[in-house]
Amino acid sequence: MDYVKGIFKNRPNRFIAEVEVDGNIEIAHVPNTGRCRELLVEGAEVYLKPSDSPKRKTRFTLHFVVNKNELVSLYSQEANSIVYEAIENDKIKELRGYTIRQREKTVDNSRIDIYLANENEECYVEVKGVTLIVDGEARFPDAPTERGTKHLKELIKLKKNGIRTVVFFLIQHPAGNSFRPNWDNDPKFSQTLNEAFEEGVEILVYKTENTLEGINFVEESIDFDLSKI
């Protein structure tokens, strides 16, 4: 189904947006619980997908917004699918060689996004989609995330038990060319990410290139810096 072009007007709450489509105000579902304040500004060009489901409360879902002349993917859960598909297609060199691949694995009170295993080792991968860009630098999170910090602590615990763990940042804004944790918005997450890295939790950063025809996973890892500016 083709995308419908619209103009962003307002976001009454984190789940919905008011969007002008063909001169009419429509209510669209926002599939991203982040603040996205730098993206969802009044007058921004957005692209929606319509739904024919009678169970839907909203007619549209907001998929893309134009920012810095780039098409930015706002569908946060799509990051997990993109990374999982890239692993299945051997596009991530650091995560090749696993014969068992599974979406979501429960560990204690957390669900880790991706579980991998072969006859030699297990590997847990937690995926974070990144849309905030500051001076060409991708930053996460754009709002405090207790859940994200909890996931990092779970990865640290697994690593201390001898299990390979990875936190995977997927930059869904093509203008992002490097990565840094967002110390200003969430110092607790940023500090915990540093602790995780020191404990041996691996950090991988990749990005996507987005068009209305599809989202392309770029097979080249991106540099990161965990320090404060």
Query: pLDDT tens for residues 21-63?
Result: 999 999 999 998 888 999 999 999 999 999 877 777 888 999 9
What domains lie within the chain, and their CATH numbers?
Answer: 4-67 (2.40.50.580), 78-218 (3.40.1350.60)
Instruction: Give the model's pLDDT for residue 200.
Output: 98
Check if the beta carbon of residue 95 is closer than 8 Å to that of residue 166.
yes
Query: How far is residue 14's CA from residue 133's CA, in Å, rounded to a whole number?
Result: 20
Decide: helix, strand or coil at residue 219.
coil
Indicate whether 143 pLDDT > 70: yes
* Cross-strand pairs, 167: 126, 203
Indicate whether 1 pLDDT > 90: no
Query: pLDDT tens for residues 155-206?
Result: 999 999 999 999 999 999 999 999 999 999 999 999 999 999 999 999 999 9
Percent pLDDT > 70 in the chain is 100
* Pairing, β 202-211 against β 164-171: parallel
Query: How far is residue 99's CA from residue 91's CA, in Å, rounded to a whole number?
Result: 15
Reported pTM? 0.93
